[in-house]
Amino acid sequence: MRRSFAASLGLYAGAVALGAFSVFPFLWMVITSVKGSQEIFTRTPVFVPHSPTLGRYAQVLGGEFARALLNSVIVATGTTVLGVSVAVLAGYSLARFRLPLRRYLLMLILSTQMFPLVALIIPLFIVMRTLGLLNTYPGLILAYLSFTVPLAAWMMRGFFQSIPPELEDAAMVDGATRMGAFLRVVLPVAGPGVAATSIYAFIVAWNEFLIALTFISDEQMRTLPVALQSFIGRESTDWGAIMAASVIFTLPVIAFFLLVHKRLTRGMAAGALKG
């Protein structure tokens, strides 16, 4: 009993320490964003501001940053919806069908992750300029899909391979079509995989900076990572505004994760009970 209590105590203590270590950077951003300018530049860190203020949030949201927030939401959401839709179909096809040269196709899909993003910028820029998609939402979304879909499809293939084919075979014996069995039987079981892939696609599209900086010259079309750069000047940097903008930048990612977290954990728990 004593060993069990000590083990439980150590487990909880480790979990609390790991949680504090993970949450502290975000908490420090929140604290710094409400500090006065003099409290930011001190030798001794100030953990409790004497006169907290929310003026920087009003300053950030009152400018062009709000427009950049909307742009990032549109681009990240479009990339996630389209990317996951394509990845689900591609992953299912690679997992279930005996396609010609499937092994080489899998190697080709995986090899796309070997190329650095810098090597793709010039070809993508030429393509988007030819199609007239620079400074547009579709241009950014298509550019993001070029490097999010391959890995997302590979992830979904792994999830579909873990689902027994007998489930959809039984559904087709009962009269369902292949697509009906996929939508009604296989896809709900693969819910945790869809959730994990959605998180990956959203975070990649939300954090991307280099392509957005290269493809977007119109200030009204800038995304959040590019807009954050505007707070850094040649002679001075508004660290309070940067922290406030960083908090706003992080909140949608947390909200999206919490939105799909229930589906992710529910599917993992169901899989553990079945096992």
The two tokens of residue 16 are 């609390």
Query: What is the predicted pLDDT for the residue at 262?
Result: 67
- pLDDT tens string 222-271: 999 998 887 777 667 778 888 888 898 888 888 888 877 766 655 444 44
Query: What is the predicted pLDDT for the residue at 205?
Result: 93
- 3 falls in which pLDDT band (50, 70, 90)? low
The two tokens of residue 67 are 């427009």
Residue type, 106: L
Q: What are the beta bridge partners of residue 232?
A: 237
SS3 54: coil
b (16+ CB within 10 A) / e for 244-256: bbbbbbeebeeeb
Query: What is the predicted pLDDT for the residue at 1?
Result: 44
**What's the CA gap between 21 and 31, in Å, rounded?**
16
Nearest to residue 176, comparing CAs of 163, 185, 165, 166?
185
Question: Residue 116: pLDDT above 50?
Answer: yes
Span 70-97, mean pLDDT?
Answer: 92
Q: What percent of the chain lies above the pLDDT cut of 90?
A: 24
Burial of 257 (0-12, 13-18, 19+ CB in 10 A): middle
Q: Who contacts 106 (Cβ-Cβ below 8 Å, separation ≥6)? A: 94, 154, 157
Is residue 150 within a helix (H) or strand (E), and if so which, with residue range? helix 137-161
53-274 maps to which CATH number? 1.10.3720.10
- pLDDT tens string 157-209: 888 988 888 888 888 888 888 888 888 888 888 888 888 899 889 999 999 99
Q: Who contacts 39 (Cβ-Cβ below 8 Å, separation ≥6)? A: 46, 49, 50
